[in-house]
Structure 1
Amino acid sequence: MKTLTFSLLSGAFCAALGAVSLQASGAVDVGKLGGDLTPVGAQRAGSADGTIPAWDGGLTKAPAGWSPGHGDPYAADKPLYSIDAGNVAQYQSKLPAGQVELIKMYPGYRLDVYPTRRSCAIPAEVAQRTKEFSGQGKIGADGWRLEQAVGATVPFPVPQSGIEVMWNYKLRYMAKGRRAQISYLARDTAGALSEVKQWAYEYYPYNDPSVKGPADTGDIEAKLLYDILTPSSRAGEMYLVHGYLDKPQDAWIYFPGQRRVRRAPSFAYDNPIAGGDGLYFVDQINMFTGALDRYDFKLIGKKEIVVPYNSYKLVDKANKYQNLIGQDYLKRDAQRYEMHRVWVVEATVKADKRHSFSKRVFFIDEDSWTLLHVDMYDAKGNLWRVQEGSIWADPGIQACTSFEYVSYDLVARRYIADGFTQEGEVLDLTAGMEGRVTDKMFNSNELRRRGER
């Protein structure tokens, strides 16, 4: 079995941290919001070498004929260069360790790098409220729970710690709720493609400007409901998850054969996902989900690296899963990469806690606070799994969003793709704004009602 050591894979990355810029410790200069900084805390200016342009407000108006899953505002762009096994050493300092290993491991795996488009817009109300309430966000005495923040803001636009960056990610603006038909996809070692298709409903109460603090949401961060449609052997299963600001999540499962709802205390942390062949843990859902209590989060700083961005080709409904999901990796032509500035946060398991991933390294977009890449290490410090997100701007919500992501297991040499919407009938990002997703949908009684209809 191939051994992947942390020291060999990440040495070049760590050595390059001289290029990282950290905010100085001490008082937070929120006066720069809307000036040198964008309204949510990103650097407004472009990079010194010109590869990253200045932020100009993002994509606020949909091109003619565009809708989610249909069309690409940047279809005319051509790749500037590709990174593959032949030139990866040249670009290694601009890549997460996981991408370097994927390029080295799989023949034909490459990154096509396009011109950088800072497409993520910011709703005017979120921009105004973030500046108005800056400095009011507060982390609890335990070092991880969110003790105070108001709704429809970035709680820590000028973060001073890793935990503040993680809460910015968890409370990033994506509108109040959304719904979609999504698929979980994987190929077995013989090449057969399996699919679990489901309705996904997601509710984000902290995107509501009426929220003045955690008590207004019942200390809820997010509510998720998954209703399985296929395969027939699992049709009718439902999973309800409540994510909290101050404690581990609660979960319930509806079993159609029993017509009963049961609590699911194991649906959290590093417990395997049902039907995932041990390739995928619960807290990998949506790149990272659940409580932050098992890790210490160290803020490494900010770095310019190549990440997936403006993934319109990937979410195009012209794609069919049989062609998109390759044996070893996602079809390379479908993914777009760009150079962007990201926050780098290193999470290590606390001395009195346990988790199968002893360390995670998170790469979070400065413009949207979206998690774009995660490297995950085992107890011996070996790189084990690599997770990659997608991001694209939707003028309908005046912000960027993300559904699709993949997780590569470097030991099993297999991967899963989750949140894929290309063959789903519905991709509705404004459902929470227009009443199609509401808080009353996310309770155990609703699971029973849906199961009995």
Structure 2
Amino acid sequence: MNKKKWIAAGALALMFSTSSVFAAVSVQQAERLKEDLTPVGGERAGNGKDIPPWRGGLSLPPLGYTKAGQHHIDPFPGDKPLFTINAKNASQYRAYLSDGQMAMFDVYPDTFKIPVYKTRRTAAAPEWVYENTYKNAVRSELANNGSSLLYAYGGIPFPVIDLDDKEAGLKAIWNHITRWRGTYLQLRASEVAVQVDGNFSPTTVQQEVEFNYYRQDRTIEDLNNILFYYLSVTKAPARLAGGAVLVHESLNQADEPRQAWGYNAGQRRVRRAPNLAYDTPIAAADGLRYADDTDMFNGSPDRFDWKLLGKKELFIPYNNYRLSSNELSYNDILRPGHINPEYTRYEKHRVWVLEATQKAGVRHVYSKRRFYIDEDTWGIVLADQYDNQGDLWRVSTAYMKTYYELPVTWTTLDVFHDLKARRYHVQGLSNEEMGEIDYSSPPPGERYFTPAELRRRGRR
């Protein structure tokens, strides 16, 4: 069958197959997105204390921001911490901290801190994303036991979730996987593995991502089963320069899993990379990040059972403009054990708590994962990961901010901690580069993201 017809015909066949289909909500339920819920499914109201109502988010740049891709100007330069949580007073705030955050205080009692600022609900997206999200609410479905997303396009697929829905957890993770992150981006940034003594050696990569799912000139039938295209070329150090990776990520993971290729500059060969998924170690991360750790979670959800536990108020990283400032160097940010808390910003927000438990009969290095998902974006901001003995092993954090020029609310740094090894990995460092994510260019299309292009771009 022609791949371009996979939704129109293949998905219809899935509806009547033996695999269960998890359907969308009623029009009446979807209307909540225009009433008590935000356009992507968060609660519009505040908590009457320290979480304000959502009033549209931050969608205009501040004065002085003149060029797409330049380092962001902090829109809240006068904000100061309301208080700081440390190992000595963490027990007072336990109700608003994750297990992973508490573990960080235990492992780094003298240095780890959480500076808490005024909560600003800056999350925002374009109006057309909101419109598509409303449409998705009444049409999106899951099939193949949750491994395939059907009938969704250009917005959050399941913005209205009922906790009594037995597939609420799967819907929540698909909301994260497909959340708004722009249409096409270019970014030159570094990633580092920070050793116990604080030493690090950056690997610099040029990344391009086209979110095919968010192409405004497409329809559901045109998606060709592609969620996004990803191309990454290593620029430094010299011994690694020219190596490249290409990924075609799919929406129907059951029938057509992710396709990936790698280019080895020394051998000048492109090879398929069929194992670039699940718990495959990422070479540049020095063993501190696995394939499905990237973006806090990515890929097929089929190796875990998913349960949405509910919502809670939590101190999470938000509006981290200082952390991405070009006035800072990597040496300013990277410290033994964790990044420098002086430059981080946390706020109290509501999060969904999602638990993933390894299925019987499948293999993964994590026996359980607990994700904390920002209600205003569906992005995972904190992740606690447990080893096969049931011990908390790794803690991941996405330091969020709003890219107001688009707008989109996403991460500026992702940090992955190994509590036992006392090392950590950081993705997204761009302080010493010419700029940050650049969303200004039009998407090049699928002909650009091919193995042949991978070979051309990867040449030294």
Task: Give the TM-score taking structure 2 as reference length.
Answer: 0.88
CA contact (8 A) 1:201 1:437 kept: no
- The residue correspondences of 1:233-252 to structure 2 (distance < 5 A) are 233-247=239-253, 248-252=257-261
Match status 1:112 vs 2:111: no
CA contact (8 A) 2:181 2:410 kept: yes
Match for 1:266: what amino acid? N
What residue is the counterpart of 1:76 in the other structure?
Answer: 78
- The residue correspondences of 1:437-452 to structure 2 (distance < 5 A) are 437-452=444-459
- The residue correspondences of 1:29-428 to structure 2 (distance < 5 A) are 29-48=29-48, 50-66=49-65, 68-106=70-108, 107-149=110-152, 151-160=153-162, 161-213=168-220, 215-247=221-253, 248-428=257-437
Match for 2:391: what amino acid? N
Instruction: Rate the CA distance shift 1:258–1:119 in 2: closer, same or farther, 3 A.
Output: same
Match for 2:62: what amino acid? P
SS of the equivalent of 2:137 reads coil
**CA–CA separation in structure 1 for the residues paired with 2:58 and 2:444:** 25
Instruction: Rate the CA distance shift 1:197–1:362 in 2: closer, same or farther, 3 A.
Output: same
**CA–CA separation in structure 1 for the residues paired with 2:169 and 2:342:** 34
Instruction: Rate the CA distance shift 1:324–1:140 in 2: closer, same or farther, 3 A.
Output: same
How far off is 1:342 after superposition?
0.9
How far off is 1:70 after superposition?
3.2
SS of the equivalent of 1:235 reads coil
SS of the equivalent of 1:181 reads strand
Match for 1:448: what amino acid? R
**CA–CA separation in structure 2 for the residues paired with 1:56 and 1:406:** 30
Instruction: Rate the CA distance shift 1:437–1:314 in 2: closer, same or farther, 3 A.
Output: farther
CA contact (8 A) 1:394 1:401 kept: yes
CA contact (8 A) 1:370 1:391 kept: no
What residue is the counterpart of 2:6 in the other structure?
Answer: none
The number of aligned residues is 424
**CA–CA separation in structure 2 for the residues paired with 1:114 and 1:82:** 9
SS of the equivalent of 2:144 reads coil
Match for 2:242: what amino acid? G
CA distances 1:42-86 after superposition (whole Å, capped 9, x unpaired)? 1000014x1100001111211101365232001111111111111
CA contact (8 A) 1:297 1:347 kept: yes
How far off is 1:203 after superposition?
1.3
SS of the equivalent of 2:80 reads coil
Structure 1: any 5+ residue segments left out of the alignment?
1-24
SS of the equivalent of 2:146 reads coil
CA contact (8 A) 2:383 2:397 kept: yes
CA contact (8 A) 1:397 1:429 kept: no
How far off is 1:425 after superposition?
2.3
**CA–CA separation in structure 1 for the residues paired with 2:181 and 2:82:** 30
**CA–CA separation in structure 1 for the residues paired with 2:270 and 2:238:** 19
SS of the equivalent of 1:302 reads strand
Bigger drift between 405-414 and 281-290 goes to: 281-290
CA contact (8 A) 2:416 2:425 kept: yes
**CA–CA separation in structure 2 for the residues paired with 1:414 and 1:37:** 40
Match for 1:163: what amino acid? L
**CA–CA separation in structure 1 for the residues paired with 2:328 and 2:42:** 33
Instruction: Rate the CA distance shift 1:141–1:452 in 2: closer, same or farther, 3 A.
Output: closer
Instruction: Rate the CA distance shift 1:394–1:187 in 2: closer, same or farther, 3 A.
Output: closer
How far off is 1:154 after superposition?
1.4
How far off is 1:452 after superposition?
4.3
Match for 1:123: what amino acid? P
CA contact (8 A) 1:244 1:291 kept: no
Match for 1:64: what amino acid? L
Identity across the alignment (%): 38
How far off is 1:128 after superposition?
2.2
SS of the equivalent of 2:439 reads coil
**CA–CA separation in structure 1 for the residues paired with 2:284 and 2:371:** 26
CA distances 1:211-236 after superposition (whole Å, capped 9, x unpaired)? 433x5222112221110011111000
**CA–CA separation in structure 2 for the residues paired with 1:280 and 1:452:** 26
**CA–CA separation in structure 2 for the residues paired with 1:153 and 1:343:** 19
Match for 1:138: what amino acid? E
Match for 2:155: what amino acid? T
**CA–CA separation in structure 2 for the residues paired with 1:46 and 1:424:** 38
How far off is 1:327 after superposition?
1.2
Structure 2: any 5+ residue segments left out of the alignment?
1-23, 163-167
**CA–CA separation in structure 2 for the residues paired with 1:147 and 1:252:** 26
CA contact (8 A) 1:239 1:251 kept: yes
